[in-house]
Amino acid sequence: MHLIHRGIVSKKYHENLLKSFEQSFKKGFGIETDIHATKDNEFICFHDFTLTRIFK
């Protein structure tokens, strides 16, 4: 099995969203992703430890 990190990513499908994961499964790939706990004990699916890559 081939694994896709953060799902199928394109202009149509952004990383770590359910749609990108669904597209990975439809194409026969498994997924590997990152889960982090926030300071208020919520869980988020995000690759980085900070938001600087997407918010500047």
Write out the chain's pLDDT in tens, 56 residues: 677 777 777 788 877 788 888 988 998 988 888 888 889 999 988 877 787 877 86
Question: What pLDDT sits at residue 1?
Answer: 63
Question: What pLDDT sits at residue 49?
Answer: 79
Residues 6+ apart with CB under 8 A from 37: 43
Distance CA 18, CA 28 (A): 15
Determine, yes or no, domain membership for 20: yes
Question: What pLDDT sits at residue 40?
Answer: 96
Q: pTM for the complete prediction? A: 0.63
Range of the domain at 34: 3-45
- Tokens of residue 35, six digits: 């889960």
Determine, yes or no, domain membership for 52: no
Amino acid 24 reads S
- How far apart, in Å, are the Cα atoms of 30 and each of 15, 17, 35, 37, 44? 14, 14, 16, 23, 19
Determine, yes or no, domain membership for 29: yes
